[in-house]
Amino acid sequence: MALCELLMHSGGLPTQEVVTVAEIRSLEELQTPDSTALIFSPFGLGGAMPPERSAEFLQRLVADCVLAPDVAEGSRREFDRLQRLFPYGLLDYDVFTVVDDRALLVMEQALRERFVQWCACAVTFEDANGVESPRSVDVRTYDDVLAAVKKLGRRSRRGPQQQPSPHWQLKVGSTLIDFNGMLAGLRTWARAAGLLRGQRTRGIEHAMSNLRNAVAHPTGYHRTMPVETARTLHDLAELINQLWGHPTPGGRLYPAPVERDIVVMAWNDEGSVLMAQADALRDDTDADGYLYLLIRSASCPGSRYEDAYWAEFDARFETTQFPAEYLWGPGSRSDALAWLDAEQPKGDTVDYVDRVFMLREHNGQLYPPMHPEVAAGLTGEEQRGTWHTVRADFPEHAFAHVRGLNGSPDAHSRTGECRNCPAHHLGSGSHEQALRAAEDVVGVVTPRRPPAVRIPGTIFWPHRF
């Protein structure tokens, strides 16, 4: 009633002049499916589904959104409520919009609750200008955190005679960050604390924050489709789980490490390139003219991880989308099978987000990314040129970022997170300087020099050294 009166008053209508009331529907009418919701099916938009099947379909859309057991109770209960409410969009299509909007607000709640757990009842602020000594503040709730930020903000506003003013920053490990307690500050904190990961996801987090701000400060009416709301709930579940240290297997935003298996690749002089599970070597289908190569790869027939560049494999350069490791070859099928039986290599798991790449630029040519260990094993002649160290999820992102440095001066950042692409520039300079920048992130780099083996006839990465 209070909101209704406020809206009428803002529109110039006194409350006592209202003579109509909202439509009162019967229980049967309230239980009648919304025809708009029925047109959504597992096959897209089409004819109306039977209500019973639609109810099952909508529940299955979000049934696999599961939070880790150690997630804070407040975030868990809010998420559970949204997950339970989602299928009721079958009865009122606008429920999907309500759930989607609320999910974007819960994102900030989860960040706040995780911050309180992370700080362990105390936060430390340091003055970047060195005017005042560090301040440690005891906090029990996030309201305490906001109060501390506000108090320090008042201390920063001094008269001209007391310049320079202190510039307070939150201490996160060995890093100092600007922190105002709002959503943007929380995202910066979560990144600095290593709780959120992945370069591609930075842009998605920014977009989610903008959507949250639009919900918190609406300027018009909008409606959200059920498939969009289901994706928002999935993304929210991934973000919450990641904040508590649980990446999502097969996730869109914060994927868990992928499994790699032993894979055989084969090619001939006619340009035919094949890939199969290593056990395919045991089939008596040896073809004349083929060379065989054994690698450890996440992409193989039947895998959920499709690598668009699997045929670009190079033992020295990072030319496949997911990390691939050279094992043996090239050689004949019989030799490959003999090595496989003798060594019996096993599969493993590997994380593919936030990888560190080194890229060489020499004589006007930019070469494909390399793993720091491989770059460290290069000869003096191969180390010549300008080198760039970049953190990215995929090699093509690192390559596109460095190539963009030669364009408009403001297009790509030469320091820190790039605002225009999913990459983080760690350093540039000589080979030694670039390698040092990589070691600052990954630790000591042990040089290794794999053989110069690759699949011939490359298209996407034509230049090597």
Q: How many residues are given for the chain?
A: 465
**1: confidence class by pLDDT, cuts 50, 70, 90:** low
Nearest to 322 by CA among 299, 354, 294: 299
- Lowest mean pLDDT segment, chosen from 245-254, 266-275, 340-349: 266-275
- How does pLDDT run across 16-29, given as a tens digit for each residue? 555 577 889 999 98
Nearest to 297 by CA among 325, 277, 317: 325
Helices 73-85 and 94-119, interaxial angle, to 10°?
170
Please determine, for residue 225, whether its predicted confidence score (pLDDT) is greater than 70: yes
Residue 32 burial (CB count, 10 A) = 14
Residue 343 burial (CB count, 10 A) = 12
- How does pLDDT run across 50-97, given as a tens digit for each residue? 999 999 999 999 999 999 999 999 999 999 999 999 999 999 999 999
Dist. CA 314–CA 456, nearest whole Å: 9
Please determine, for residue 11, whether its predicted confidence score (pLDDT) is greater than 70: no
**182: confidence class by pLDDT, cuts 50, 70, 90:** very high
Dist. CA 26–CA 359, nearest whole Å: 68
Domain ranges of the chain: 65-256, 257-352, 353-465
pLDDT for 17: 58
What 3 state SS string does the chain have?
CHHHHHHHHHCCCCHHHCCCCCCCCCHHHHCCCCHHHHCEECCEECCCCCHHHHHHHHHHHHCCCCCCCCCCHHHHHHHHHHHHHHHHHHCCCHHHHHHHHHHHHHHHHHHHHHHHHHHCCEEEEEECCCCCCCEEEECCCHHHHHHHHHHHHHHHCCCHHHCCCCCEEEEECCEEECCCCCHHHHHHHHHHCCCCCCCHHHHHHHHHHHHHHHHHCCCCCCCCCHHHHHHHHHHHHHHHHHHCCCCECCCCCCECCEEEEEEEEEECCCCCEEEEEHHHHHCCCCCCCCEEEEEEECCCCCCCCCCCCHHHCECCCCCCCCCCEEEEEEECHHHHHHHHHHHCCCCEEECCCCEEEEEEEECCEECCCECHHHHHCCCCCCCCCEEEEEEECCHHHHHHHHHHCCCCCCCCCCCEECCCCCEEEEEEECHHHHHHHHHHHHCCCCCCCCCCCECCCCCCCCCCC
- How does pLDDT run across 107-154, given as a tens digit for each residue? 999 999 999 999 999 999 999 988 899 999 999 999 999 999 999 987
Dist. CA 142–CA 182, nearest whole Å: 11
**Contact criterion met (CB below 8 Å) for 187 and 111:** yes
Rounded to the nearest integer, the mean pLDDT of the chain is 92
| Percent of all residues in the chain with a pLDDT value above 90, rounded to a whole number | 80
**278: confidence class by pLDDT, cuts 50, 70, 90:** very high
Asked if omega into 456 is within 30° of 0 (cis), the reply is no
Dist. CA 238–CA 251, nearest whole Å: 7
pLDDT for 5: 61
Q: Which two tokens stand for residue 444?
A: 């000591």
pLDDT for 2: 62
pLDDT for 285: 62
Higher pLDDT: 210 or 457? It is 210
Nearest to 395 by CA among 308, 305, 277, 270: 308
pLDDT for 16: 57
The reported pTM is 0.89
pLDDT for 371: 98
pLDDT for 444: 97
- How does pLDDT run across 409-425, given as a tens digit for each residue? 788 999 999 999 999 99
Q: Which two tokens stand for residue 351?
A: 């994380």
Contacts of 334 (CB under 8 A, 6+ apart): 286
Dist. CA 364–CA 373, nearest whole Å: 24
